[in-house]
Structure 1
C-alpha cells in the first residue's frame, strides 16, 4: 500500500465532533513536499482519491477515522485493503490503550487533588488545634509537634520545642519515673487514656497535663513511635485541689464544733431561722 498521505482523525471525548484533532501518520516527501501545507479538507480538489476507515470499539463508540489521500485517482487492491485492516487493528489497539492510560491518569490526578485537599484540611486542623499534638520516638525525642503543644510547654514554636528538647523524660516530665511508667504502659497496652502527670515548662513553671496516646507499630508488630494529644489541666487541677482543701477545712471545722458543743457544760442549741425548729442540742 503506497499513498502520498495517511492521517488519523481522532474523536476527542467531550469535544466538538466536527473539529476533531488530526495527526499525520505518513507523508510521502516525493508526492507531497515537506514545505507544502497540509490541507485537512479531504473533499477538496487537491485529493481526487480519498478512502476513510472507521475505528470503533466493540460497543460501537467511535475512536478515530483513518484517511488515505492521493493527488491522483486510483483503486485499492484486495491486498492493500488487507494491509489497511491490519494497520487499523493495530491503531485501534493503540488508541484503546491510550484511552485507558488517559482515564487512569485522570483518576490519579483526581485522587492526588483529593489527597492534597485532605492533607490541607488536616494541616489546618493540626496547626489550629487547641490540644497539643505530638509524635515522639520511644527514646524520648519529638518527631512532630504542633503550635499548641509548644505553647503549653512554654516554647515559642514547634521548632523551638523540637530543637531544645532531646530527652522528654528528663526535660519535660517533672518526675522521670512517670515517663518510665508511661513507656511501660504504652508498650504493654498500646495506649494510655487520661494519663495525668506534672511537667516542667521552659521557664521552670510546673503544670499538670492529661495525656492520651497510642503506640504505632510496623508491619512486623514492632513499635515505631508514640503519638497523641496533650491537654493543659492545671486550672481544673488547682480548682479540684482547692475544693478538696475547702472540704477538709469544713470537716475539720465541724469536728472542732462538735468537740466544743459536746464537752461544754452550758446549754447550747441550734434552730432554723424562721421555723425555730431544733437542729442541734448539746448533751448538757
Structure 2
C-alpha cells in the first residue's frame, strides 16, 4: 500500500474514533451492511500494514545484530565513552587486548586502562579532539593489572541523546613497537661495538650486547679447535666458576657440540625437547637458552651460547637480531684467527728467512741490495761485521764475474716476470769464484720503470764440480760402451729375434736383415751350449726361474769365430702382465776377461805400494772407525798390531778430540774439502809426536 493511502486511512480512522460529528452524521445515512463492509476493508488494510511493519522490524533486528557482531568481534578494539570518559561500550577485541571481559569495562573510566606514562598523551589527544572537533590519532600504552600493550588510537565525536560522545578505535602496535625498540637497542649496541679499540674488547662488548639484546643473564663465546674437534671457552659473562668448568671444553660427547657442528641454531625453554636433550650439560638453573653456531665462509669457527634463569620466549625479531650480532662475532673471531695465522705465518717466514740454508734476497733492478738473509751472507763469504746492503750497491760489477750475465738476468725478468734456475759465476769475498743458481720474480714495479726483485740463491759450486765429473764420467762410459761393444736384443716367446741394435749386428757379423726373425739358439749359439742355454731360457719364459740377472755363454759369429758374452736379462710384459718376450743386453767380455787378470795384478801392486809406503796411511768410515792401516802408520803410532789400531775412533778418541783432529775430520766429511793440519799427538802406546796430516 502506498504511503499516501496509509495516511488517508489513518486520518479517516482517527476521525471516526474522535466522534467527528460530520462523519457520524454520514454513518447514520449508511446502512449497516455498508458500514460493516467499509470497516472490514479498513481492518484488512490495518492487518497488512501490521505485517509489513513486523517484517521491517525483523530486518532491523538482523541489521542491528550484524552491526553488533561487527562491532564486538572486530579485529581491532572499539570503545565509546562520554566527555567524562565513562565507558558506554567496549568490544571483545579491546578487552582481549588488555586481558579483561568487555562488559566489565562498561561504566568505568577509560583512563583506568591507560598506562601512567601515556596519560599525558591521552589527555592531549582528547583535548585536541573536544576543542577542535576533528579526528585525532596518537600512540600510547594500555595497561590492566600486569599486562600492557602498545596501541595506536583514532577518535572522533558523535551525538547521542543530545550529548557529545567519543568513539575510539584501538589498533595493536606492540609488535611494531618491539621491533622499533629492538632496532634502537641494536643500533645503540652496534655503536658500542664499533667504538671498541681491540679484538678482545670487541668480542666482550659483542657478547654483552647479545645478552642485553634478548634479555639474557649470562653467555659465552667458544672457538673451534679443528685439530682436536673441540669447542673451547674463550669469553664468558655472568657464569660462575662451576659453570665455567662445565663449559670449559665441549667435544663429540656433548649434545651442545653435536648441535653446533650440524649448523643448527637452537632456541628453547625448560619445556622444549632440545632443553631436555641438553639437560646434563647446561648450567644449573638455566630455564631459557640460545645456541648459535658461529659460521664464516660456510665453516663452523665457534659458537655463541646465551642463558636465562627464568622463562624467556624469544620472538622471531629477537632471534633475527641475535643472529645479526652472532654474525658480527663470527666476523670478529675470523678476523682474529686470520690475524693470528698471519702472525704465525710472519713468524714462520721470519724464521725461514733467518734460519734457512737457502740464500734469500730482495734487490732493486738498478742493482742495489735491500735485504739478504744470513744464509746468503754465508754463501757470499761476508765477514760477521759487514753491512750487506751497503756492500752491494752495484751487483752488476761487484757480484757477477761476467756483468753481462746480470744484464741477461734483468732482460729475462722483464720478459717473463720470473726466472728459475738462472746460473751464473759470482765472486766470493774470499776472492775465489763460486757458482750460484738464482730463482726470482718481480714483486713490485715503479713508475720510473725500475722494479723490486725477490728471489732465492743456492750455491751450486759443488754441483758444478759433480756435473763436470759426471760429464767426464759419461764421456768415459760412452767410450767404454763403444769399446765394450754392448749388444741389445729382444726375443719373442718362440725364441726368435724381434729386434737388435747395430752393435749386436757388428758383434755377430751379420746385417740386421739377416738376423731378424731367426731362432737365436739354432743360429747364433755354439752347439755345445745350445741345450744348456735353451733349457735355462725355457724355464725363464715359463717363470720357473724368478730371474736370471747375469749369465755368460759363447756365441758363434758369421765367420765361425766365437765370442764370450755376459748377459743381463729382463722380462717384457703386456698390459695384463703376461710375458711377451725377453730383453737381453750382452757385453762382449772376451777381451775384458783378459783385462781382469791384468787388473788383479794391478791391485796386488797397489796393495804392495800401500803396505810399503813410508807415510802412515789409514782408511776410516764416516763414523770414524779405522778400517785399515799400513805398517808405517803402526810404526809411527807405536801400535802393537793393526787390530789394536782399529780400536781407535778418530771422532771420539780423547787425544784426537783435544788436539782438534776430530773436528777437522768432521769438517772434511761435511764440506768434502781436503784438510791439512799439524797437531801434537800423544799415542796411547806412549809416543809423543807432532804430526802433519792430510784428511781426504
TM-score (norm 1): 0.54
Match of 2:346 in 1: 119
Once the two structures are TM-superposed, the CA of residue 111 in structure 1 deviates from its matched residue by 3.2
Change (3 A) 1:159 1:109: farther
Secondary structure of the residue that 2:117 maps to in structure 1? coil
Aligned-partner Cα distance in 1 for 2:449–2:386: 28
d(CA) in 2 for partners of 1:149 and 1:106?
Answer: 39
What does 1:1-284 correspond to in 2, within 5 Å? 75-79=116-120, 90-99=184-193, 102=202, 103=328, 107-156=334-383, 160-218=387-445, 224-245=451-472, 277=590
Instruction: Provide the alpha-carbon RMSD of the alignment.
Output: 4.2
Report the alpha carbon displacement of residue 241 of structure 1 after superposing the two structures with TM: 1.7
Query: Which whole-Å CA distance do the structure 2 matches of 1:76 and 1:254 have between them?
Result: 110
SS at match of 1:240: helix
Return the structure number with greater relative CO, CA threshold 8 A, min gap 6. 1
| Alignment partners' CA distance in 2, 1:278 and 1:106 | 79
Distance in 2 between the 1:147 and 1:180 partners?
26
CA distance in 2, matches of 1:137, 1:219: 10
> Shift in Å at residue 191 of structure 1?
1.8
Structure-2 separation of matches of 1:77 and 1:202: 91
Q: 1:243, CA displacement in angstroms?
A: 3.5
Measure the CA separation in 1 of the matches of 2:119 and 2:187. 23
| Alpha-carbon distance between aligned partners in 2 of 1:135 and 1:111, rounded to the nearest angstrom | 26
CA distances 1:232-267 after superposition (whole Å, capped 9, x unpaired)? 110111122233345667889999xxxxxxxxxxxx
Q: Higher Cα Rg: structure 1 or 2?
A: 2
Q: Which residue of 1 aligns with 2:231?
A: none
Cα offset for 1:109?
Answer: 3.8
**Equivalent residue number for residue 258 of structure 1:** none
Q: In the TM superposition, what is the alpha-carbon distance from 1:139 to its structure 2 partner?
A: 0.6
> Deviation at 1:220?
7.9
Distance of aligned partners of 1:240 and 1:105 in 2 relative to their CA distance in 1, 3 Å threshold: closer
C-alpha displacement of 1:210: 0.9
Secondary structure of the 2:439 match is: strand
Contact 1:145 1:158 in 2 (8 A): no
* Runs of 4+ with deviation above 2 angstroms: 74-83, 85-93, 96-114, 156-160, 216-224, 242-255, 271-280
Aligned CA distance change for structure 1 residues 78 and 221 (closer, same or farther; 3 Å): farther
Is the contact between residue 191 and residue 215 of structure 1 (CA under 8 Å) also seen in structure 2? yes
**Closer/same/farther in 2, CA of residues 145 and 207 from structure 1, 3 Å limit:** same
Cα distance per residue 1:123-162 (max 9 Å; x no partner): 1122222211111101111122111111111114697322
Rounded Cα–Cα distance in structure 1 between residues aligned with 2:473 and 2:334? 65
Could you say if the C-alpha distance between residues 110 and 219 of structure 1 is closer, same or farther in structure 2, counting changes exceeding 3 Å?
A: farther
Contact 1:151 1:157 in 2 (8 A): no
Counterparts in 2 of 1:82 and 1:112: CA distance versus 1, 3 Å: farther
Cα offsets for 1:36-67 (capped at 9, x unmatched): xxxxxxxxxxxxxxxxxxxxxxxxxxxxxxxx
Q: State the distance in 2 between where 1:162 and 1:216 align.
A: 19
Structure in which a larger fraction of residues adopt helix? 2
* TM-score normalised by length of structure 2: 0.24
Q: Deviations over 1:174-231 (max 9, x none)?
A: 1101111111111122222211110001121210011111122449896521111111
Q: Partners of 2:367 and 2:446 in 1: how far apart?
A: 22
Q: Given the superposition, is the C-alpha separation of residues 95 and 143 from structure 1 closer, same or farther in structure 2, using an over 3 Å criterion?
A: same
Whether the 8 Å CA contact 2:444–2:453 is kept in 1: the answer is: no
- The whole-number CA distance in structure 2 between the counterparts of 1:208 and 1:235 is 8
Encode CA deviations 1:2-26: one digit per residue, 9 max, x unaligned: xxxxxxxxxxxxxxxxxxxxxxxxx
Q: CA deviation at 1:77?
A: 3.7
Distance 1:88 1:240 in 2: 77
Verify the 8 A CA contact 2:366 2:450 in the aligned structure 1: no
- CA gap of 1:254–1:273, structure 2 versus 1, over 3 A, is closer
Check conservation: 1:147, 1:158, Cα contact below 8 A: no
